[in-house]
Amino acid sequence: MKKLSLLFSSICLVLVTASLSLAAGTIKIGGLFAVTGPASFLGEPEKKTLELLVKEANAKGGINGVKLEAVIYDTGGDATKAVQLATKLIKDDKVSVIIGPSTTGESMAVIPVVEKEKVPLISCAAGIKITDPAKHWVFKTPANDHVAAEKILNYMAAKKQKSFALLTVTDGFGASGREQIKALAKQKGFTVVADEVYGPKDTDMTAQLTKIRGIKPDAIICWGTNPGPAVITKNVKQLGIKTPLYMSHGVASKKYIELAGADSAEGVMLPAGKLAVYDALPKNDVQKSLLKSYDQSYKKAYGVEASTFGGYAYDAFLLATNAIKKSGSTPDLIRAGIERTSKLVSISGVFNMSAKDHNGLDLSAFEMVKVVKGDWALIK
């Protein structure tokens, strides 16, 4: 009897030890990024940023003493592939949270999956419909496109530019931006004198721009992600159009200037996250030291400057790990922790989430910038 008792105790000890070992395993963070394809300028820095942050966190002992593991897949910017890979992350890899996808279209496609499977998703895409209306398991880090649109229109109002031509891409990001800009324009008393579109793979927009040139608006607003906006910028220069040209935050990286060419892009204006111009920020800006630290770490690791888009993955990682520290590492606890986020200083701004707001950023997330001699300059 005594032997049986000892045997039972030994079995219990083994089971408890095994349970503790599992509990002390890694916390898996999934990543869905467009590392290749047309949106690689978004996905590549997002992937590299997540890998960098996981490495840095593990070097410091992990989160609450538990190491992190990043499981990252390349979607190629394809919505169907993103859905397949999101399912794989949840079903096979057993991740506790997913960061990404990189684009609005992919994010919208993945939402039904994470809502059904009850795993939090922190999108790195900007379309307002990702989180408006709020979905229980879905968050996003780029400021809503209506915030970027309002930033542009407020600046235009200050410059007494009352009419503008709109040129948007026919994808999820473009459609959302077009809707938000037109609604805000009506509210603020602007006149939309042209409403033109272009396809994501179009390589020449001179037809639309020639029409716009004939209308003579006070400004042109282009809404899209590269390569389209870079093509439009070149076409504007080729056609000799002198009308002020505004871009969306969807091109807020040096890649846009590189693709368009510094000469063509000179003077182009857009709303951008503070990372692009952190050196010009006042010393008391609450984000400045973090922006500098991220940029320096990224340069050291990869030999190039950090981008606004990589910053979206940084924000998502910070939201997730902050929630894990305070609430726990299961999907439901991470979700609840993210929703309770308050005054979290990160790359894209200061996040204040709520049950009704799963983005948590306002106008302060953006600065108006312009291209000056091949680089971004803060508009003061």
Look at domain 27-143+288-361 and name its CATH class.
alpha beta
- pLDDT score recorded for residue 364: 94
Q: Could you tell me the two tokens for 362?
A: 């306002």
Tens of pLDDT, residues 49-58: 999 999 999 9
CA distance 72 to 331: 18
Identify the CA nearest to 216 among candidates 243, 182, 244: 243
- Contact between residue 110 and residue 121 where contact means Cβ atoms under 8 Å apart: yes
Q: Tens digit of pLDDT for each residue in 342-365?
A: 999 999 999 999 999 999 999 999
pLDDT above 80: residue 20: no
What letter does residue 29 receive in the DSSP assignment? E
Beta strand segments in 109-249, E: 121-123, 138-140, 163-169, 191-198, 219-223, 245-247
Q: Concatenated DSSP letters for 35-78? A: -SSTTHHHHHHHHHHHHHHHHHHHHTT-BTTB-EEEEEEE-TT-
- Round the average pLDDT of the chain to a whole number and report it: 93
Q: How confident is the model at residue 18 (pLDDT cuts 50, 70, 90)?
A: very low
- Of residues 286 and 146, more confidence is placed in 286
Neighbouring CB atoms inside 10 A of 312's CB total: 30
Tokens (6 digits) for 53: 């942050």
Q: Pick 146-280+366-378's CATH classification: 3.40.1120.10, 3.40.630.10, 3.40.50.300, 3.40.50.2300.
A: 3.40.50.2300
Q: Where, residue-wise, is CATH 3.40.50.2300 in the chain?
A: 27-143+288-361, 146-280+366-378
Report in angstroms the alpha-carbon separations of 70 from 18, 57, 143. Answer: 23, 11, 25
Render pLDDT for 1-11 as a digit per residue (tens, 0 to 9).
444 444 444 44
pTM score, whole prediction: 0.84
In this predicted structure, what is the pLDDT of residue 7?
41
Residue-wise pLDDT for 130-152, tens only, equals 999 999 999 999 998 889 999 99
